[in-house]
């Protein structure tokens, strides 16, 4: 999918969902993210690529303030979601995380039944008025997580008993059950085999119809396959950001080119 | 102290063997340690071990067997008519041993010559007075049979000790020479030492297991004696605990079991919420600074001797409860529900305080073991911290927490000092927590420390009680381990 100029043209009309300006992140004395400016569009899959330790996961975790759970982490700069600064004192990080969902590198189903895993978010946010409502949300989320057919007969079996790929799709279904507007995915396929990876990628492509998806990945093929926009991070800097097709075919920066062609990594 | 000397000789020989074995092995390889099969130290250790292990083995067996054999030989000398009514040979034998020790002391202090000690006759000498002079007090005049038995006892002992010394030295030297002959370059000393270490470790493990079996068996034999003297139906199904010395005691475990379980229940009611909440605070909310001083502080509670908790119950908690629930119009509530400081509630609360660190430190470890990815997953869905703990962390840690609670329960059931001082001594069925009650452990203490006859059911019941307690706590521990293991598999 290197040849996706039509897609690139299409997304340029999208609205800006998240815009970050001069974001700095420090872990204690380490300056992990330096001066990152980026605008993430709605209904687009944005991929963050870059060598290990370049700060792409750290930046991703800034977008729903998951970094707040790390004591020594400090974020400066502005991150605007729908016109509101998410680091403003008035913003409740708990509410923010309901709006900006997250899927992690390792599948982390709760030690509960499949049903309760999905119902977890809707329950704590009071999204369901009745049991029937909740059943419907669970079914819808599992269908959209492309796992309904595999688990519909054992909704009350523990979620930890599923295979790795099924667990990850369960976690994605769990994240979309709370109806987020942005879905952050931190290397969602790194623990999966190629078949499960293909299923998850297909799912990401579908999710684009409704959400903005930001995905961190180590696989450049994956970035090229699923994303419309790509951002390349290197040593805490955002080096290059643009339509995926352009980044992979005509990179402007020589560091991007070196990384894509495998000379640095 | 001939045995101490023997031990020192063996140790010295082993040390010498280590050095000589090492040198000899090196010499056999022409001073080049690379030509040896094993490192030089292994050859030394091999010699040292073959001195130590057999000689200490023989020493231990000998020291256990000698008194038994001598006792048997000497007690055969005591005529049956010498044994008073209602006592056993054991009592007379302890007289014999006492006289023998007295003679030893007299010889040591020079009040008597060695040959005199062996030939002295109580018919001609007032032995009681003469031994009294050297500081050995005897309860009664020494009878001729006892004296002769004591003299025999001394000679046998002396012969035995002499033989022991010779045999041990021979065994040690034999091991020394035999191992030294093996100190050649081809000998696989390393493998031999490896096997010896395995044997030592296995011996340590089997001592732990064997002593458990020994404890159970000793309880079991005395319990069997008890059930020979007392009806088992009364013990297990009766409703009254009323020991007396007329021989018609009612000895039922049920009222005691009720007291034990009731007090343990109240203790858990205190310890489980407080301990669990403390654990959650420490593992999830507290910063590393708070944690670093609060956790050791909490664990200090675990180091307080239970007798101190007992004093706390007796002097502080009990009177405080009386002030609240008793004293009529002078009390805080103006009621007269509680008369004395000892009650189920007093003992239960204090025991609960004792169990807090037990529950909290085990739960803390278990909560910390819940993977961070679970918390991230929940927080990432927009859950608050307490929602995450309530709905994800604690359920994931639950099997371990239940295990911790069951272990705490088995400690509560076996706890003695707090209930001795805080719970009172009245055995009865009652649901009022402000009344005195008693537990199995306190009754064991009082039945065994009284001056009752050891062979009577009133004393032997202690063993039956102890065995029941053991089975109870063993059952709880097994259940705890089962739960922990079963659910751990499911959640990993």
Shortest CB distance from B379 goes to which of A69, A110, A158? A69
Judging contacts by C-beta atoms under 8 Å, the chain A residues touching residue B374 are: 108, 110-111
Shortest CB distance from A111 goes to which of B380, B382, B396? B396
User: Phi and psi of B305, rounded to 5°?
Assistant: -60, 145
Using the beta-carbon criterion (under 8 Å), do A120 and B383 form an inter-chain contact? yes
Return the pLDDT at B127: 73
Domains in chain B: boundaries: 2-187, 191-226, 237-490
- B380 close contact with A: CB closer than 8 A: yes
Instruction: Read off the pLDDT band of B181 (50, 70, 90).
Output: confident
A6 vs B420, residue with greater confidence: B420
By the 10 Å C-beta count (0-12 exposed, 13-18 middle, 19+ buried), B123 is classed as: exposed
Is residue A211 within 8 Å of A43, Cβ to Cβ? yes
Judging contacts by C-beta atoms under 8 Å, the chain B residues touching residue A141 are: none
Q: Calculate how close chain A gets to B491, using CA atoms only, in Å.
A: 6
Is residue B258 within 8 Å of B440, Cβ to Cβ? no
Instruction: Read off the pLDDT band of B75 (50, 70, 90).
Output: confident
Q: What is the dihedral of CA B157, B87, B137, B144, to 10 degrees?
A: -60
3-state secondary structure of A37: strand
| Chain A contacts to B (CB-CB under 8 A) | 64, 66, 69, 71, 94-99, 101-104, 106, 108-112, 120-121, 124-125, 158, 160, 171, 174-175, 178
Does residue A52 fall inside a structural domain?
Answer: yes
Domain count, chain A: 1
Does residue A137 fall inside a structural domain?
Answer: no
Instruction: Choose the mutation target among B370, B380, B398 for the interface with A, i.e. most A CBs under 10 Å.
Output: B380
Instruction: Read off the pLDDT band of B422 (50, 70, 90).
Output: confident
Identify the top-confidence range among B35-44, B86-95, B349-358.
B349-358
Average pLDDT, chain B: 85
B125 pLDDT higher than 60: yes
Shortest CB distance from B382 goes to which of A109, A125, A160? A125
Return the pLDDT at A6: 47
Q: Calculate how close chain A gets to B316, using CA atoms only, in Å.
A: 42
Which of A99-103, B110-114, B426-430 is least confident?
Answer: B110-114
State how beta strands A212-216 and A45-49 pair.
Answer: parallel
Does residue A91 fall inside a structural domain?
Answer: yes
> Considering the domain B237-490 in this protein, what is its CATH number?
1.10.3720.10
B392 vs B114, residue with greater confidence: B392
- B304 close contact with A: CB closer than 8 A: no
Count A/B contacts: CB-CB distance under 8 Å.
Answer: 78
- Note down pLDDT in tens along chain A; length 265 residues: 444 444 444 444 568 889 999 999 998 888 988 889 999 998 899 999 988 888 888 999 999 898 888 888 889 888 999 888 988 888 888 889 988 999 998 899 998 899 999 999 999 988 888 999 999 999 999 988 888 989 999 999 988 889 888 899 999 999 989 989 899 999 888 878 888 888 889 889 888 888 899 999 988 889 999 999 999 999 889 999 999 999 989 888 888 888 888 776 5
The pLDDT tens digits of the residues spanning B45-63 come to: 999 999 998 899 899 999 8
User: Phi and psi of B479, rounded to 5°?
Assistant: -60, -45
User: Phi and psi of A80, rounded to 5°?
Assistant: -105, 120
- Looking at the DSSP bridge assignments, the partners of residue B74 are none
Using the beta-carbon criterion (under 8 Å), do A106 and B374 form an inter-chain contact? no
B146 vs B386, residue with greater confidence: B386
Shortest CB distance from B380 goes to which of A64, A124, A160? A64
Is residue B64 within 8 Å of B208, Cβ to Cβ? no
- B229 close contact with A: CB closer than 8 A: no
Return the pLDDT at B225: 87
Cβ neighbours of residue A203 closer than 8 Å, sequence gap 6 or more: A144, A145, A146, A169, A172
The pLDDT tens digits of the residues spanning A197-206 come to: 888 898 898 8
Q: How far is Cα B344 from Cα B438, in angstroms, rounded to an integer? A: 8
- B286 close contact with A: CB closer than 8 A: no
Does residue A256 fall inside a structural domain?
Answer: yes
Cβ neighbours of residue B212 closer than 8 Å, sequence gap 6 or more: none
Q: Could you tell me the two tokens for B164?
A: 């022991």
In terms of CA atoms, which chain A residue is nearest residue B284?
Answer: A69
The pLDDT tens digits of the residues spanning B245-286 come to: 777 778 888 889 999 999 999 999 999 999 999 999 999 888
- Structural domain span for residue A15: 5-109+180-260
Instruction: Read off the pLDDT band of B433 (50, 70, 90).
Output: confident
Q: What is the dihedral of CA B467, B469, B471, B476, to 10 degrees?
A: -170
Q: Could you tell me the two tokens for B47?
A: 């010699």
In terms of CA atoms, which chain A residue is nearest residue B487?
Answer: A111
Instruction: Read off the pLDDT band of B365 (50, 70, 90).
Output: confident
Return the pLDDT at A265: 53
Using the beta-carbon criterion (under 8 Å), do B379 and A106 form an inter-chain contact? no
Instruction: Choose the mutation target among B286, B290, B381, B401 for the interface with A, i.e. most A CBs under 10 Å.
Output: B381
Does residue A84 fall inside a structural domain?
Answer: yes
Does residue A234 fall inside a structural domain?
Answer: yes
In terms of CA atoms, which chain B residue is nearest residue A177?
Answer: B381
Closest CA relative to residue B185, chosen from B45, B32, B375, B57: B32
Say whether pTM exceeds 0.80: no
Q: Calculate how close chain B gets to A10, using CA atoms only, in Å.
A: 31
Shortest CB distance from B392 goes to which of A97, A99, A110? A110
């Amino acid at each position: 999918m290197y040849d996706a100029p039509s897609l690139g043209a299409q997304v340029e009309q999208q609205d800006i969902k998240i815009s970050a300006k001069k974001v700095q992140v420090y872990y204690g004395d380490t300056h992990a993210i330096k001066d990152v400016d980026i605008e993430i569009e709605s209904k687009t899959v944005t991929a963050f690529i870059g060598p290990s330790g370049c700060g792409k996961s750290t930046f991703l975790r800034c977008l729903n303030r998951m970094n707040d759970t790390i004591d020594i982490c400090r974020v400066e700069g502005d991150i605007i979601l729908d016109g509101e600064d998410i680091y403003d004192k008035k913003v409740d990080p708990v509410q923010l995380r309901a709006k900006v969902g997250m899927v992690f590198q390792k599948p982390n189903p709760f030690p509960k039944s499949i049903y309760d895993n999905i119902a977890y978010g809707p329950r704590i946010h009071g999204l369901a008025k009745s049991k029937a409502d909740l059943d419907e949300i669970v079914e819808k989320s599992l269908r959209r997580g492309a796992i309904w057919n595999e688990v519909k007969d054992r909704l009350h079996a523990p979620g930890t008993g599923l295979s790795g790929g099924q667990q990850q799709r369960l976690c994605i279904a769990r994240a979309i059950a709370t109806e987020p507007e942005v879905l952050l995915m931190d290397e969602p396929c790194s623990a999966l085999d190629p078949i499960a990876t293909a299923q998850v990628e297909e799912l990401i492509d579908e999710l684009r119809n409704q959400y903005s998806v930001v995905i961190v990945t180590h696989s450049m093929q994956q970035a090229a396959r699923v994303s419309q926009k790509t951002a390349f991070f290197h040593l805490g800097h955002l080096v290059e950001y643009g339509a995926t097709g352009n980044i992979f075919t005509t990179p402007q920066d020589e560091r991007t080119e070196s990384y894509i062609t495998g000379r640095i990594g | 102290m001939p045995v101490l000397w023997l031990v020192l000789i063996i140790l010295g020989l082993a040390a010498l063997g280590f050095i000589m074995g090492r040198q000899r092995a090196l010499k056999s390889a022409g001073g080049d340690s690379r030509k040896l099969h094993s490192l030089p130290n292994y050859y030394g250790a091999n010699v040292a071990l073959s001195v130590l292990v057999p000689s200490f083995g023989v020493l231990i067996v000998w020291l256990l067997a000698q008194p038994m054999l001598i006792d048997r030989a000497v007690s055969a000398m005591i005529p049956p008519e010498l044994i008073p009514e209602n006592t056993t040979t054991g009592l007379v034998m302890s007289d014999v041993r006492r006289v023998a020790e007295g003679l030893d002391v007299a010889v040591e202090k020079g009040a008597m010559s060695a040959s005199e000690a062996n030939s002295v006759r109580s018919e001609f000498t007032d032995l009681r007075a003469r031994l009294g002079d050297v500081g050995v007090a005897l309860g009664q005049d020494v009878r001729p049979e006892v004296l002769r038995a004591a003299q025999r006892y001394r000679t046998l002992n002396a012969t035995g000790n002499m033989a022991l010394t010779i045999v041990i030295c021979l065994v040690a030297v034999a091991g020394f020479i035999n191992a030294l002959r093996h100190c050649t370059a081809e000998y696989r000393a390393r493998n031999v030492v490896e096997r010896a270490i395995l044997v030592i470790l296995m011996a340590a493990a089997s001592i732990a297991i064997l002593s458990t079996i020994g404890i159970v068996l000793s309880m079991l034999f005395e319990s069997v004696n008890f059930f020979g003297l007392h009806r088992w139906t009364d013990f297990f199904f009766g409703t009254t605990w009323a020991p007396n010395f007329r021989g018609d005691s009612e000895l039922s475990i049920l009222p005691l079991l009720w007291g034990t379980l009731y007090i343990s229940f109240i203790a858990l009611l205190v310890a489980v919420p407080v301990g669990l909440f403390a654990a959650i605070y420490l593992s999830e909310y507290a910063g590393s600074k708070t944690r670093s001083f609060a956790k050791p502080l909490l664990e200090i509670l675990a180091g307080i001797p239970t007798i101190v908790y007992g004093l706390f119950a007796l002097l502080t908690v009990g009177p405080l409860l009386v002030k609240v629930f008793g004293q009529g119009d002078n009390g805080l509530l103006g009621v007269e529900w509680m008369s004395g400081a000892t009650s189920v509630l007093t003992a239960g609360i204090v025991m609960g305080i004792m169990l807090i660190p037990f529950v909290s430190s085990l739960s803390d470890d278990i909560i910390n073991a819940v993977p961070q990815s679970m918390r991230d997953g929940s927080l990432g869905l927009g859950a608050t911290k307490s929602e995450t703990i309530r709905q994800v962390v604690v359920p994931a840690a639950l099997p371990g927490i239940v295990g911790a609670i069951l272990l705490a329960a088995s400690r509560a059931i076996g706890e003695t000092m707090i209930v001795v001082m805080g719970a009172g001594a009245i055995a009865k069925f009652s649901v009022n927590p402000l009344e005195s009650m008693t537990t199995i452990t306190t009754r064991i203490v009082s039945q065994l420390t009284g001056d009752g006859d050891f062979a009577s059911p009133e004393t032997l019941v202690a063993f039956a009680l102890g065995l029941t307690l053991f089975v109870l706590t063993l059952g709880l521990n097994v259940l705890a381990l089962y739960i922990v293991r079963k659910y751990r598999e499911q959640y990993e």
